[in-house]
């Protein structure tokens, strides 16, 4: 039994990595300026091809690919944790209103500092995630504080408060962004729709340390997530300090979400779908589910971004919109399956 699970895990992982590599290849070579495989190879590893290709690859496509992959990874892992803790397969960072909180943080940042600065540069790349983080954590505290009843989290209330608080913070963002200058407003609007077209190396540099800090925390506690699926009484009898561990895990995943939102705006549904697909592939053990889910998240965002660019070229649809067009039918399928 154990061996079989491990085998499925290894199989899924390698298939996933292969799919990501294929996706990355298409994502790097397709676009308004197509490349051949030979071009790609030369530019990436030999560095002696023409400077135009180098510019396109290193300044535009590669950072975009990597930021997209990181965002997918972060959202999917956070979604898995949030679903496990709230014991609700419908929970998702977007539905829980954490996105809107992080969004409001970033809009406040744009409102306060963006007068004459542009999005690149270390200052904004480093401080935008911080504002997003603060906003996301404040939203999470608010929602969890409201849903906290007699020493435990009520998962139904959690979802409802998430929707309520999310709507409120969303209108806060709209209010602020309407007070901006029109240039800043356009930027905020594109960003809110969930797009990674303006990704650059600064974003990646700002994201990676957080991932290096937060992902290990979550992965080390993967076994605890299995424990949370038991009833309240059995957890207590195992001697786990549930509420404290829950808070640590929630804090880590909310931070992940906030950083992703700061980089790419509100890309919904990744955190909802990826865990479900992962569980179908490798079963219920979070030690296996977490990495697979992260991988599927990466794949989803890379593919969505590719579609967003290629299908309607030369126009672009924000990747977030593509994800929700693909994601919703799957979600409804999930709701129907839950009945059976």
Partner 1 sequence: MHISQTSLAKVILIFFPLGFLALAVLSISIGAKEIPFGDIYQSIFHFDANQPDHQIIIHNRLPRALGACLIGAFLAVSGALMQGMTRNYLASPSIMGVSDGSVFLVTACMVLLPNAGAFVLVLFSLAGSAFGVFLVFGLGSILPNGLTPVRLAIIGTIIGTFLSSLAAALSIYFKTNQDISFWYNARLHQLDPAMIKLAVPFGTAGLVLALILAKPITLLSLGDETAAGLGENTTRIKLLTIVAVALLTGISVALAGKITFVGLLIPHMTRYLVGNDYRWVIPCTAALGGLFLILSDTASRFLNSPFETPISIVTSFIGIPFFIYLIKRNGGKANA
Task: For partner 1, give the closer residue by CB, 165 or 301.
Answer: 165
**8 A C-beta contact, residue 29 and residue 36:** yes
> In angstroms, what is the minimal distance from the CB of 172 to partner 1?
8
DSSP classification of residue 56: I
Residues contacting 50, CB < 8 A, separation 6+: none
| Helix intervals (H) in 114-231 | 122-147, 155-178, 182-192, 201-220, 222-228
What minimum distance in Å lies between the beta carbon of 332 and partner 1?
A: 7
Q: How far is the CB of 221 from partner 1 (least distance, A)?
A: 27
Closer of 55 and 311 to partner 1 (Cβ): 311
Can you tell me the distance from the alpha carbon of 273 to that of 334, in angstroms, rounded to the nearest whole number? Answer: 9
Q: Which is nearer to partner 1, 10 or 332 (CB)?
A: 332
Largest CA distance in the chain: 66
Q: Which of 256, 267, 271 is nearest to 219 (CA)?
A: 256
Q: Which is nearer to partner 1, 194 or 294 (CB)?
A: 194
Q: How far is the CB of 150 from partner 1 (least distance, A)?
A: 12
CB crowding 64-81: b at 16 or more within 10 Å, else e: bbbbbbbbbbbbbbbbbb
**Residue with smaller CB distance to partner 1, 146 or 219:** 146
Neighbours of 256 (CB within 10 A): 33
Residue of 260, 212, 202, 254 whose CA lies nearest to 68: 260
Would you say 171 or 280 has its CB closer to partner 1?
171
Residue with Cβ nearer partner 1 (260 or 323):
323
Are the CB atoms for 66 and 301 separated by under 8 Å? no
Q: How far is the CB of 202 from partner 1 (least distance, A)?
A: 27
Q: How far is CA 303 from the centre of its chain?
A: 14
Minimum CB separation of residue 267 from partner 1 in Å reads: 11
- Contacting positions for partner 1 (CB under 8 A): 90, 95, 146, 154, 156-157, 159-161, 163-165, 167-168, 171, 174-175, 178-179, 193, 268-269, 312, 315-318, 320-322, 324-325, 328-329, 331-332, 335-336, 338-339
- The least CB distance from residue 112 to partner 1, in Å, is 17
Residue 193 Cβ vs partner 1, minimum distance, rounded to whole Å = 7
Task: Identify any residues that bridge with 149 across adjacent strands, giving them in sequence order.
Answer: 152
For residue 227, give both structure tokens: 């424990």
Contact 87, 246 (CB under 8 A): no
Contact 334, 104 (CB under 8 A): no
Nearest to partner 1 of 118, 156 (CB atom):
156
Least spacing, CB of residue 335 vs partner 1, in Å: 6
Name 115's Cβ contacts closer than 8 Å, sequence gap at least 6: 181, 184
Output 294 or 320, the one with its CB closest to partner 1.
320
């Amino acid at each position: 039994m154990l061996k079989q699970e491990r085998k499925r895990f290894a199989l899924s992982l390698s298939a996933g990595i292969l799919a990501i590599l294929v996706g990355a290849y298409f994502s790097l070579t397709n676009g308004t300026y197509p490349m051949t495989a030979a071009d790609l190879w030369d530019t990436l590893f030999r560095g002696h091809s023409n400077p135009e290709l180098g510019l396109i690859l290193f300044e535009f496509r590669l950072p975009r690919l990597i930021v997209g992959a990181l965002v997918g990874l972060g959202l999917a892992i956070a979604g898995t944790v949030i679903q496990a803790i709230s014991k609700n397969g419908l929970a998702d960072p977007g539905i829980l209103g954490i996105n809107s909180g992080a969004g409001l943080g970033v809009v406040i940042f744009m409102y306060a500092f963006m007068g004459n600065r542009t999005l690149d540069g270390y200052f904004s790349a480093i401080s935008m995630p911080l504002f997003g983080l603060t906003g996301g954590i404040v939203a999470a505290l608010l929602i969890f504080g409201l849903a906290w009843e007699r020493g435990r989290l009520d998962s139904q209330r959690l979802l409802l408060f998430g929707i309520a608080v999310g709507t409120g913070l969303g209108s806060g963002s709209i209010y602020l962004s309407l007070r901006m200058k029109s240039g800043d407003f356009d930027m905020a609007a594109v960003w809110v729709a969930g797009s990674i077209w303006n990704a650059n190396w600064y974003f990646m540099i700002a994201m990676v340390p957080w991932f290096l800090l937060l992902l290990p925390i979550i992965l080390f506690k993967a076994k605890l997530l299995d424990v949370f699926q038991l009833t309240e009484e059995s957890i207590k009898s195992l001697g786990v300090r549930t509420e404290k561990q829950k808070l640590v895990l929630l804090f880590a995943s909310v931070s992940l979400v906030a950083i992703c939102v700061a980089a790419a705006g509100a890309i919904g549904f990744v955190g909802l779908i990826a865990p479900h697909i992962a569980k179908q592939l490798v079963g219920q053990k979070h030690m296996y589910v977490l990495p697979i889910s992260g991988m599927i998240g990466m794949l989803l965002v890379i593919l969505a971004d590719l579609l967003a660019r290629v299908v309607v070229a030369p126009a672009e649809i924000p990747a977030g919109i593509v994800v929700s067009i693909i994601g919703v039918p799957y979600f409804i399928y999930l709701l129907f399956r839950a009945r059976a």
